[in-house]
Amino acid sequence: MMVNKVIGIALILVGVALAVWGYNIYDSASSQISRAFSGDTPLEAWAGMVGGGLCVFIGLLKVK
């Protein structure tokens, strides 16, 4: 039972870090220029934000 909570807390921390990393990539100057000309968002940004959200969600389920 205690191991699940520790894993859950670790997943939440990793998820928040991934989401912040993804947002930093999304908000970078090169990404903004790329979006202005082609409209494309870097795949790393989406992977970080979505992956981070999933990790936080799974972590919250483990903590309960």
Q: Tell me if the pTM is above 0.75.
A: yes
Among 3, 2, 8, which Cα is nearest to 62's?
8
> pLDDT tens digit string along 22-52?
999 999 998 888 888 988 888 899 999 999 9
At 49 the pLDDT is 95
Among 29, 25, 61, 18, which Cα is nearest to 42's?
25
Where do the DSSP E strands lie in 1-64? none
pLDDT of 13 above 90: yes
Pairwise CA distance, residues 52 & 22, whole Å: 8
Segments making up each domain of the chain, as ranges: 2-63
At 1 the pLDDT is 78
At 39 the pLDDT is 84
